[in-house]
Structure formats: structure tokens, C-alpha cells
Chain A
Amino acid sequence: MSPSVALTLAIVVPLIGTVAIVCLRRAPNWRETATLTTATTLLLLIVYIASAFQSGNQIATVWWYLLPDVPIAFAVEPLGLLFALVASFLWVVTSIYSIGYMRGHGEPNQTRFYAFFAIALSCAIGIAFAANMVTLFIFYEALTLATFPLVTHRGSAEAKRAGRVYLGILLSTSIGLQLLAIVWTWQLTGSLTFTERGIMHDVDDTTAGILLLLFVFGVGKAALMPLHRWLPAAMVAPTPVSALLHAVAVVKAGVFTVLKIAIYLFGTERLATIATADWLAYAAAATILIASLVALRQDNLKARLAYSTISQLSYIVLGAMLANRWGIIGGGMHIATHAFGKITLFFCAGAIMVSAHKTEVSEMRGLGRAMPITMAAFLLGSISIIGLPPTGGLWSKWYLAVGTLHADQWILLGVLLVSSVLNVAYLLPIPIRAFFSSASPSAPEGMHEAPLPMLMALSVSALGCIVLFFYPQTFFELMTKLVVSF
């Protein structure tokens, strides 16, 4: 199998999986087998592509031409590979988790859930490997639509309202701003292909500045304030959706798109000369702080994690807007490290919900004795989000901080430090109280750990956080390969 065939397959395999899932709807065990098989196959494909890429192959494929000059094309580059590796690995983990969660929680319409989940992953891989902005846009929109049935899974009035916010913000930003920017760029440069050093050389500063604003705010999935409301709204979805899609695939697709635009449409050299890049860096800094402060005030655990995600996503936007190699390396690595940390936290939140039926932070005192593994994993995930050793979160924050120093942005460095303190304040009390505070009197007797598949999944992702501390090389080397040309 040639690598470019594998590239096509990586996008198609989840869709085949969808068909299999729908066909096997009457046999839940086989249906889950189909999900697991698909996820594993996808991971193997991505690993194969990665190894082919590491050995120096150029991997690209053109599917067909949408319009006479606009191909639907895919190409492998380091950043996309990093995103695809993270997403496909965590899909395997989440699939195991989902089985425990969906059954333990007695969710209805499970076939629809697994089917759209697989479609969403196909879209995420499409985004990761898109070779031009139109291809990326198509998968970006498809991802919005494919996740809508997952957000509204419960079908309740609240879910419907959330679905409206979700679709409203994501579609209006992508159609209203991003598409405008795409067409404008096409008109100005005659190209939308992701190119090293960008395609904006001949565009004057003012126009490029406006385009940058349109692009970055047009990527609503990056949840830059004030376009962040959809993410807390999406928390009505079942927890595996919040975990993989709204902590990893969907939101990371957003910040990935921002990075991709910054690196391959503008180019970091060009970006550094654009005034609005600084504005956006400050907008990201404001989002980091405000979202952290809001997270402090959330009692609902998933809502707190959602605001934490908003804050952490802006780290990556900030890294992109710093427009130097350290910022890009830090931003790219943060895609991976935050993914592992945040998915662990969501897994734990779901485990607590399934076995202890608790959703509010204030109810979780003393839970550590009943669910030691879960809460230990939560502690590790928290430490990784904060960015302390021995977790991978340290590295990405480290490079982001170095990036701010290289850009002489002392204020932004201060923001990163203050934010870490805020992270401590809103995350660490949860495991600390769970272990050291006496159980609240209302706690029912006989609480126990979540079902085994869920425990396995959250242990794997928590271990991942530690592994990323000791072996960050895979991702670091990918990112340095990316920035070597700067």
C-alpha cells in the first residue's frame, strides 16, 4: 500500500465504519466491535503514514476537482500529522470508554451516536490533511453538521437550545467570516493551497490584517472570545462527545486551522509584520484570563472544564500569533498535551457521573475514597493542564513562554503565568477535597469505581500525560521539522 492510498483510506475508513455501525444496529456487541475495529484501523493507518513521512516521503493525493481550479486535495505535513495522531489515538481510547459510559448510563439511540461519532472523526482527519483551504473548509463545515446530532443527542428542550447556539455560532462565523476570507484570498492571490512561507507576499498590510481577523474569528471552533458560547452549550452532549470532540477533535480542529492559516497562508514572517496579529494575541490573552476566571465560578464540573478548554485553546491561538518558531512549537505541542490532559478530566467527569451520579463540584467531597483511581487520574490530568512536572503539559507551556520572550511580549508572559495560577485554583481543589475532605453526609453508601472500560480508558489517557513528560520527542521533532524552514 502506498502512503497516498493510506491517506485516502484514513479519511474513508471511518465512513466505512459508519456504514458498518448502522448495519449492525441490532447487535450492540458487534456494533461496538465495528467501532473499535474502525478506530484501531484508523490509528494504524495514521501511524503508517507517520512512519512513511518520517522516512522522507512526500505524501499527497488529489481526489477530484470541485471547480475547474479548485481541487479537493490532501497532503501530509508535520502539524496535520500531529493532530491526526492525537485524534486517532484518543479515538481508540474514547471508543473503549464510550462502551462503558453509554451502557452504564443507559443512553438511548446508541447507534446514531456511534455512527455520527465515526463521521466526525473522518471530518477531523480530513481537516488534518487538507492541502488547501477549500478542502479544509468543506471538512470543517461537515464536522459542525456531523456533531450537531451528538450535541442534541438527548433531544430535550435544553439540548435543542444548545444545538441552536452551537449551530448558530459555528455556522455564522464560518459562512459569514471564514468563507468571505477564503474567497477574498482566492481573489487576491489566485491560490488557496497551503504553501510554506505563505501566499500573502503581494497583499498589502491593511488587507492582510483584515483577512487575518476574518480568518481567526471565522474559525469559531477555536472559541476565541466573544465567540466561545457554543462550547459550554455543547456540554449537554454525552460525556464521550465532550471528551473527544469538545476537548480534542472539534476544538483542536479549530486551533489547528488557526495554526495552519498562520503558517501556510500567511507565513510567520509575513504574520510578524501584520498589526492585527498583535491584537489577536491580546484577544487570546484576554480569553485565557477571562475564561479561567469564569471557570473558577462554575460549580458544574463539565461547565468548569469547558471554560478551562476555552482558556487553553487560546494558548494555541496566542502561540500562532506570536509568529515565531517557539510560539508555533509550543502551540503545536499544546494541541497534543492539552488533548491528553483534558480528555482525562472529561473521562473522570463521566465516570463520576455514571457511578456516583454527581455533576456538581461541590458534591464531590470525599469521593476519592470511593473512586481512588478516577480521582488520581483527575489529579494527573489537572497537573498536566496546569503545566507542572511530571506531565507533558509542562513542555508546551514552556515553549509558549519562550515564544513570548522571543517576541518581547512581557505582558503576555505575565498572562501565561497568572493563568497557570488560576488553573491551579480551579482544578486542584477538586481532587484535593476528594481525597482529604471527609465525605459529605448525603453521600450514599456503596459507591464504587466506574465500569472497567471507563477505568481502562481514563488510566491510559492519564498515563499518556506522564509519558508525554518523559518522551515528548515524537511531537517535538514533528514540530521542529515544521519550523526548520523559518
Chain B
Amino acid sequence: MAAQRFDVVVVGTGPGGYVAAIRCAQLGLSVAAIEDDRPGGVCLNWGCIPTKALLRNAEIVGLFQRAEEFGVTVGKWTADYAQAVQRSRRVADRMAKGVEFLFRKNKITLVPGTGTLKARNVVEVKGKDGAQTLEAKAIILATGSEPRSLPGVTIDEKQVISSNGAVRIEATPASLIVIGAGAVGMEFADVYGAYGVPVTVLEALPRVLPIEDEEVSALLARVFSRRGMTIRTGVRVQKVSPGKAGLTVEIEAEGKAERLEAEQVLMAVGRASRTKGLGLEALGVASERGLVTVGPTMETSVKGIFAVGDMTGRQMLAHKAMAEGVVAAEAIAGRSPRPVDYDNVPSCTYCRPQVASIGLSEAKARTNGREIAVGRFPFTANGKAVALGETEGFLKVVADKRTGEILGVHIVGSEATEMIHEFAVGRTLEATLEEIIHTIHAHPTLSEAALEATLAALGQAIHI
């Protein structure tokens, strides 16, 4: 069979791949997209979106548990976790169909199967109906990442599960140990905790959400502990093996060996790029520690081959992948896109309370040798938060004392992930503290905390 020809072939249709494909099509290029699962990748099918549905369930369960506080008497009520998972699957299905619709709308050819590079302009696709060959002027690789495990621990998705298993399994375990207190670990701990599962979170580093600001980590650990979860940091996991309750996790904490028991273990120690079998080595596509090396236009070391998203490393975030997809598409179409600003990517965790940040943590800002100003505002002093009954958390602004440059913003609290964008826009436009304080914030809103924390950085906070 003769090779089908396209301007661009995109391998993988996660957020990096599908956005790149659509942008290419918008710019008048003919596009084929190869997918071995469903369109939308991990994000839509097994990651961001289904977990947000589960977390919404956790939030509703949490409100039922607090009904008394609002003077609502609820009779006998139950929360069926299987139905939460089923709802989450329906949400994911709907979003994946949305990508299929966008592909049709933009006349993108979806090719089911697994893609392998055969030359710098040829991709072979092995699908159910055999192999076919696609030729392209440019290729965008967007094969993403997969959950990593610890050495010697096999993820069987039954007892030792990853996020892939957690979004599928409709039963809750009798007890759960979460290994890794990053965004994935904390979000699932929150979900299972809300459904009454005794949860222990183990983290090797000294604090939960180690990439976030220290104050954020401390507050989140406090809230989770108060909710009855066990949070243990600075813990090394030595071994996971079959045990009485299901599994035994052998750990070393403060120099002492311990054994913990649980029915299930959720492995949330990070993700590794998925590049095996793609044919990168044969073409000489440069990579470093499994991550494909790219230039500012997302082009790899091989001309005409681009790579975006998790497989290129840096932050493994869907929104970063989308931004990279746009850059790659525009570069291929002969435009000169602005490179992705990796210092201005918001980081979000959707547990309760939510966590969102952008830029430098206070500690990092201090090590840069600048004189900084820090402003904090607790949601206990925010009218809307008090009315909502969501007073946990704070908003913190870290700025350069001399210029008022916004170096970093850290939010922990209800809807933190929506509020961060005020500062993302501000940083893109190089706004300083002064522009934020001269922006009138609607009252009453949670976003007023942004104004107040900024005022606090200037020593002028009104409401505290």
C-alpha cells in the first residue's frame, strides 16, 4: 500500500498532541494524528479530568459530613464510591468524544494504532488492521508519560496500583498507603479519605507537595492530619510485599525500620516519559535521561521532528504540553512563535483545600540574593470565604522589594486554582505590585485575597 502523505503527523493525542494537531490544521496544514488508546491521552481519559470528577465527589461528601454546620439535617445517607468512579468515567468519555469532535471539525485524520519512526519523515502505524505508512513534512511526537514505580515494586493495578488503576477500580480498599505526596498522591489521598478509607501518605522528602512553598506544605499537612489521615514525611520505602492485611510496606523513618500494613498501595512517585519503541535511537533523536531534548521551537536534534509535553520533561503538566503544542505547530507553519516561558507555568493541586502557585517560592526567591517583600492574607479574614465556610488557607505574594516585580504567588484554599491566573496574566505583562493594587477587585470574592496580600507586601493591607 502506498504511503499516505500529510504535512504533519502527530504521534499521540494527549493535551500536547491534540492541541498541536488542531493548531496545525488551523494554520492550513494537513494533519494525521496517531493514537493507541482513546483521543485525549492520559489527561482526558485517565488523569486530570477523571480525577477532578472524583474530587468533586469528595467535596460533596465533605459537605454532607459538614451539613450540621449549615443547619441542614440529613437523614440516612450513603456515598457509593462505585458510582463516583462511574460518573468519573462518563465525564472522561464525554471529554474524549469532545476531542474526536474537534478532530473532525478540523479535518484531522485520526489513525488508531502505535506509531514508530522509520525515517525523519516516515511513521509506521501498527493497528488492529495491520500496518500502514504515513509520510510527513514534519512530525510532532507527543507520546507523554506513564506512572513510575520504586525499584523492586511492580505495579499490578490490583494491590499495588497507580493513578491508572485508581481511576478505574470501583471498590475502595479497607486501608490505603499512598507512596509519594506530590499532586497525584495528595489528590487520591483526599478522595479515598472522603470515602472513609484510612489513608497513610508516605513522602521521602521532608514535606508534602515538596515543589510548593514551605508554608503551603505545612498548612496542607496540618489540614490532612486534622481530617484523620496519617502524613509521614522523610520516610524511605524499602520494600512492598504481601502481608496480613494485603500488603506490607517496609519503611525507614528517622533511622528506624518499621512495617506498615494496608490492603492497597497507591504508587505516586512520579512519571517517566514514554518513548520506548518509538524509534528515537535509530534516527539519532537526542535525549537526556529518557527525556527528549528540544530547542525553543520544540524541534528535536533531528530536523523536522518535534517533541512536546511530558516526553520532553521539565514540568509534566497538561497545560505546559498544550503551550508547547502551539509553539511546535506555529514553528512548523513558518511562523516565529514566542517560546514557552517555563518560569511562568502555574502549578495546581486539586485536593481540599486546593493549592496553586506560580513563580518562585519564598525560600527560592531569597536564595536568589534579592531583597524581597512578602505579603500574606489568610482566608479567615476574607468575607466570601467566611460566608462559604471555606476559611482554610491563605494567599501569599513574594515580590522584589526594589522593583515590585511579582516573583512568586502561592495560594492554598478554596478555588485556589482559579485565582492563580490573575498573577499569571500579571507576570506575563510584567505587572508589578502597583498594578495589582490599582486593580479594583470585586467584593465579596475570594480574589480579594490577591489584592490584600499584595497590599500586605507593601505594608498597606486594609483588612488585616
**Bound pair (A, B):** no
Interface of A toward B, CB cutoff 8 Å: none
Interface of B toward A, CB cutoff 8 Å: none
